[in-house]
Chain A
């Protein structure tokens, strides 16, 4: 079965500290992995996806197929990074338009 696990419900850090939001997945085959973010009172939006290998707002994520992980990292957290972060996967086994989401991690960056 396809599953995404985000072990931390809440991650609280101080401004300027490094951040790592953990994501592990279970999938038979090669999934597409995404990070979505939801800022307060805003809609869910794509932050980044592994296929693009890009860095958005200073965040990066590397797909580790051996550990089936897709952790989100940022070297220096900013207060505006405070939001709800969801890891998600999609793939041929689920139908490409079906996103399977993790339960989310709330990131709180304090001044």
Chain B
């Protein structure tokens, strides 16, 4: 089975712009989660989608949003980019939401640099 894929792998934007990142989960996985990884804050949960519905949200401003499509693929969008949004954005998929101990499989990440 192919693993979780994320596109693009690298992205450079300037302050004020917006960006859309894409994630394709493992075939058959219905839950997609997003994380932000920075040297200062580490790995922080952004949000989780299951069956096209956002089921959980982390403590991030409304500039961060996402969605999930009927084929379980997910996108996250960041509007009005700030320098502090520079980070590695990781996507993870799992079979289903709410399953105790369900393993999450991570993608390689999208490295976003905001200038």
Q: Which residues of A contact B (CB under 8 A)?
A: 32, 43-46, 49, 51-52, 86, 88, 94-104
Contacts and interface: CB of A to CB of B under 8 A. Distances in A.
Contacts of B64: none
Interface residues of B, number: 30
A64 B3 CA distance: 33
Contacts of B102: 96-97
A98 B42 contact: no
Given A88-B43, A96-B97, 18 more contacts: A32-B100, A43-B106, A43-B108, A44-B106, A45-B105, A46-B103, A49-B101, A52-B101, A86-B43, A96-B102, A97-B31, A97-B55, A97-B94, A97-B97, A97-B102, A100-B45, A101-B42, A101-B44
B109 interface: yes
B98 A98 contact: no
A97 B107 contact: no
Interface in B3-55: 3-4, 31, 33, 35, 42-45, 48, 50, 55
B71 interface: no
A102 B33 contact: no
A43 B98 contact: no
Interface of B: 3-4, 31, 33, 35, 42-45, 48, 50, 55-56, 58, 90, 92, 94, 97-109
A94 B42 CA distance: 18
Closest 5 pairs (CB-CB, A-B) = A95-B56, A101-B43, A44-B106, A51-B101, A97-B48
Contacts of A102: 42
Contacts of B56: 94-95, 97-98
Nearest to A46: B103
A45 B108 CA distance: 10
